[in-house]
Chains A and B, each alone.
Chain A
């Protein structure tokens, strides 16, 4: 009987322990692909977030409390992203969520945050659907309508291409959206899309698609995919099919493992991708961030790390301005973010909860990137097909 009483007391203590809001720390959730095929994305973002939060904590934290980041792995799977966000909200009771690079997963996580009324900031998801019609979801990067437009302009104006081919991952929101915006702008400018082919995440053989693209004789090939497949696509195009044309991509290419590989014969007539950030930029904010990042992790930060760093600092800044950890107040404060000096540029959250920032076009040469063009932010109009309809598959 006595042991039963002990057990009951222990149970009560644990239960009340769970219920009691912890007064001394502020909990932030981060859901990310720490493992799985896009593990670089999650790991880089997490490094950036932790660097920022440790800095803030060293300076005394926010509202006199330390910030604790809880990272939940979704293994790069859409289903698990939903479970990870649920866990962060119900088990860990976080006051805000940072997360996901992949748009497909940010959309899923965002829907949950929207339903539960938890503020969420996506550091790097660029598909327009991530924030559309959402009250609680924000992003601090540009969107794919702008990215597609900017890359189309770069190909048409800087590379003087008139005929473009597209090879996209048809199961990936990001890739499909970017391909559509690229095609639309390229045609508006007067160019022609001569081939439009598909692959799927996890594929290793792209030669049939590339053979068809080669037969269409384009001036440039646009591959709006993730670094996981782009390396193989590039190798097969250059080495197996002897295609020498310029190849361009989006911010999904940004991964040290891909960039280091591209040298020599893989360069062909140029390899370019649009990005949020380059560690070789001369701005003092960038150089200071690169130095701190290198000191701690012994490697150069990529764009995901920089965006994670900015997202974490914007969130901390918003909590500070809100003056409390009340969810609605944090949300309002994020919405009012204006001219925040981030390492990926000055960040102002617009009325659609997106950030308007310039896009850098980087060229990869000898395993290194170099900024070759900067496309300033501009108004974009979204194609009709992207309104309404449910984005989820």
Chain B
């Protein structure tokens, strides 16, 4: 392997890592507040990708300038998924809020299966590969030796970091974020001081789900094939990325995503058969060596 190839793999790894990072961000967001691993997150990605697909294929975007089309695709996918996320929280998680955490976890798996197989009924099982070219086309912006860097690479990276900054700001610098952190610390106490817990949790789900939708559209943009089961693998891998960075920690999730993307790409080059093993080996190693993740801080177990 020479320098150019190493550089090319670096670019590919960062592009893949950016998508993992974005998905992991949504995982961490919900986990940070509720201590709930929302296994349906991967499937919200799928719903987001399908919403984006239908908007991109609909006649209403025709004739609009490119940035507006992208804006419309992202906005409608994110809005649609936010509504769906709130609905899921209202119907599946809220009635179980006083139940043991395991009950909610199992329900989350149930919601995930519901979306996957419901998706097969609504959208059909056949993968759709006919995404419009303007959405998926990789336009080379510059060239480093033989390595192409395209507009989509930049969009994914830019999107990831913008959303990370936005979420950080929201959690750390707003009243809403303060309420989120209060609920994360102690839900009952938050109630007592007059925080509308239901509303804050619903909004957290709306945020997490719109992040899922954004990553779904970006996933579809970079890998133009969408089907109802498409969220499964990226969802699991992003979960690993979130754990790797320290689940609940937003910059950690992004770091975990990039580490995983790079590791997968380089292993994929040298031993393509072992590629999927990387994510799970990483998960086992991090749980053995540093269970709180790369950036996670040790947490005192709540009594």
Give chain B interface residues in 260-286, CB to chain A under 8 Å: 264-269, 272-273, 275-276
Please report the C-alpha to C-alpha distance between residue A203 and residue B223 in the assembled complex, in whole angstroms: 10
B272–A198 contact, CB under 8 A?
A: yes
B127–A215 contact, CB under 8 A?
A: no
A170 contacts the other chain (CB 8 A): yes
B127–A228 contact, CB under 8 A?
A: yes
Q: What size tier do the contact residues of chain B reach?
A: 35 or more
Complex interface: stretch among A36-44, A86-94, A143-151, A347-355:
A36-44
A187 contacts the other chain (CB 8 A): no
B125–A39 contact, CB under 8 A?
A: yes
Q: Tell me how far the C-beta of A122 lies from the nearest C-beta in chain B, rounded to whole angstroms.
A: 21
Residue of B9, B127, B230, B233 ringed by the most chain A CB atoms within 10 A: B127
Contact of B224 among A40, A211, A228, A235 (CB under 8 A): A235
Given A202-B229, A208-B12, A208-B272, the answer on whether A215 and B5 have CB atoms closer than 8 Å is yes
A205–B223 contact, CB under 8 A?
A: yes
A366 contacts the other chain (CB 8 A): no
Given A231-B129, A257-B129, the answer on whether A211 and B272 have CB atoms closer than 8 Å is no
Decide if the interface of chain B is mainly helix, strand, loop or mixed: helix
Q: Tell me how far the C-beta of B129 lies from the nearest C-beta in chain A, rounded to whole angstroms.
A: 5
Residues on B with C-beta less than 8 A from A261 are: 129-130
B97 contacts the other chain (CB 8 A): no
A25 contacts the other chain (CB 8 A): no
B138 contacts the other chain (CB 8 A): yes
Residues on A with C-beta less than 8 A from B76 are: none
A209 contacts the other chain (CB 8 A): yes
B249 contacts the other chain (CB 8 A): no
A209–B268 contact, CB under 8 A?
A: yes
What are the interface flags for A315-331 relative to B under an 8 Å C-beta threshold, 1 for contact and 0 otherwise? 00000000000000000
B9–A197 contact, CB under 8 A?
A: no
Give chain A interface residues in 186-201, CB to chain B under 8 Å: 197-200
B125–A211 contact, CB under 8 A?
A: no
A258 contacts the other chain (CB 8 A): yes
Please report the C-alpha to C-alpha distance between residue A303 and residue B229 in the assembled complex, in whole angstroms: 25
Please report the C-alpha to C-alpha distance between residue A35 and residue B230 in the assembled complex, in whole angstroms: 14
Please report the C-alpha to C-alpha distance between residue A232 and residue B5 in the assembled complex, in whole angstroms: 21
B35 contacts the other chain (CB 8 A): no
Residue of B225, B232, B266 ringed by the most chain A CB atoms within 10 A: B225
B interface residues, Cβ below 8 angstroms from A? 1, 5, 8-9, 12, 16, 120, 124-130, 137-138, 148, 219, 223-225, 227, 229-230, 232-234, 264-269, 272-273, 275-276
